[in-house]
Structure 1
Amino acid sequence: MEATVYILRCADGSYYTGLTRQEIEARVWEHNNDPNPNSFTFKRRPVTVVFTETYDRLLDAIAREKQIKGWNRRKKETLIAMNYVGLPELSRRGHLVGKKE
């Protein structure tokens, strides 16, 4: 059962990370047309997809979504740019390397 982890860029410049088992286009349509005023994307429309990763196992996709949701904006933007080499240096522990407190 495939699952896709995705990042949306919202009209206000914020990012939303989610997971879907449906076609990504259908899920984005739902975000842009959701009548629920309490949803994160409701007041941030329109949203556009800026990143996707597809997994064969749902548990892997859930773990990845959780990981990305814990990242700061700069690290998400590095992922969106597909700069995988730059990701480790943006980890919280990576910021402490070589720094004295």
Structure 2
Amino acid sequence: MYVYLLTNPAHTVLYTGVTNDLQRRLYEHGQNLGTAGNFTGRYQCNLLVYFEVCADAVQAIGREKEIKGWSRAKKEALITTTNPEWKVIDLQTWSG
């Protein structure tokens, strides 16, 4: 299970999500760009800047809820711990 944070090209929006298949979920977010009915589509938010692996769904959902409750500044600090330049993470090449 994964907890992940996405942003938009201007880094003005952050989205926190949870999934059991990060590659598939990123693809789905990318397909919904511009879809007014969902958050990531409306705000063009599909750039992966942070993720962490969790042992199971219970842990992942708990962590997602925890992060969603944080301030923007605290989320930015979390991203910066592993991705200080906020580069888009390519799962094929990421070593972070």
Q: TM-score, normalised by structure 2?
A: 0.74
Which SS does the other structure have where 1:37 is aligned? coil
Equivalent position of 1:8 in the other structure:
6
Q: Deviations over 1:40-93 (max 9, x none)?
A: 01122252101101111210111000000001110000000118xxxxxxxxxx
Q: TM-score, normalised by structure 1?
A: 0.71
RMSD of aligned alpha carbons: 1.8
- Summarize the alignment of residues 1-101 of structure 1 with structure 2, pairs less than 5 Å apart: 3-12=1-10, 13-22=12-21, 24-34=22-32, 36-45=35-44, 47-82=46-81
Equivalent position of 2:90 in the other structure:
none
The count of aligned residue pairs is 80
Ranges in structure 1 where 5+ consecutive residues have no aligned partner = 84-101
The 3 A distance-change label for structure 1 pair 46 and 64 is closer
More helix by share: 1
